[in-house]
């Protein structure tokens, strides 16, 4: 993996860092801690979305297909929303952690 030229959180240019060990990914402790907080938050949210999606996909009753939520969305729309949210949060996690889409 190539060394990032900027902080993964705020985009500030990074120095060379120590000659040995891991190259720096963040400009300082603040960006590192904010990223850790956001990663934990995204992880919890993704877990909830995945549980909801599994439950929606497992419920194959006619009543489930006819169900409309408070926002007027059908079950199929809810499933689509959950999939989009999972994809968006996964992409954000990759960006925060410096991953690539190849993984």
What pTM, to 2 d.p., does this model score? 0.73
Question: What does the pLDDT look like over 25-82, one tens digit per residue?
Answer: 888 899 999 999 999 999 999 999 999 999 888 887 777 777 777 778 888 888 999 9
pLDDT in tens, 6-38: 888 888 888 776 778 888 888 889 999 999 999
Q: Tell me how far the alpha carbon of residue 73 is from its chain's centroid.
A: 24
Would you kindly state where each structural domain of the chain is located, as residue ranges?
47-97
Beta-carbon contacts of 68 under 8 Å, excluding residues fewer than 6 positions away, are 74
DSSP state of 23: P
The residues near 52 (Cβ < 8 Å, ≥ 6 apart) are 82
């Amino acid at each position: 993996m190539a060394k990032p030229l900027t902080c993964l959180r705020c985009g500030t240019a990074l120095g060379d860092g120590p000659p040995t060990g891991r190259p720096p990914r963040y400009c300082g402790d603040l960006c590192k801690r904010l990223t850790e907080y956001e990663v934990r938050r995204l992880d919890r949210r993704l877990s909830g979305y995945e549980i909801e999606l599994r439950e929606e996909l497992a419920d194959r009753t006619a009543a489930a297909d006819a169900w409309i939520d408070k926002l007027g969305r059908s079950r199929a729309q809810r499933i689509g929303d959950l999939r989009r949210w999972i994809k968006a949060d996964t992409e954000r996690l990759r960006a925060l952690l410096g991953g690539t889409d190849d993984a």
